Amino acid sequence: DAGVIQSPRHEVTEMGQEVTLRCKPISGHNSLFWYRQTMMRGLELLIYFNNNVPIDDSGMPEDRFSAKMPNASFSTLKIQPSEPRDSAVYFCASSSPAGAFFGQGTRLTVV
């Protein structure tokens, strides 16, 4: 298995632009998590899905952030409009009873 696949690995965008981060979970995993990591705030859970249904989105910072999981093999995290304070590494993880497995992350820089 290729593991959790995130794209792009790096994204640089201008303030105000829309940003879409993508995640392909491990096949057969029924939970998917989006995290944000910064030096200041550490690892923050933004939202997680179980069987493609959003269970808890209380970590989504504001309405500019949205996440979807249209099917079991794909999820997106969208920021519209983006701001410099959104600069961070965004991780996607999928889980089975054996544990949660992380992608390599997307490093987002908003200038």
Footprint on this chain of other proteins (rule: CB under 8 A): 4, 30-31, 33, 35, 42-43, 45, 48, 50, 55-56, 91, 93, 95, 97, 99-105
* Alpha carbons 7 and 18: distance in angstroms, whole number: 15
Token duo for residue 25: 């979970």
Q: Shortest Cβ distance from residue 41 to other proteins (Å)?
A: 9
By beta-carbon proximity to other proteins, the closer residue of 13 and 30 is 30
Tokens coding 1: 């298995």
Closer residue to other proteins (CB): 78 or 107: 107
Cα angle 43, 27, 88; round to 5: 20
* Shortest spacing between CB 71 and other proteins, in angstroms: 18
Is residue 35 within 8 Å of 12, Cβ to Cβ? Answer: no
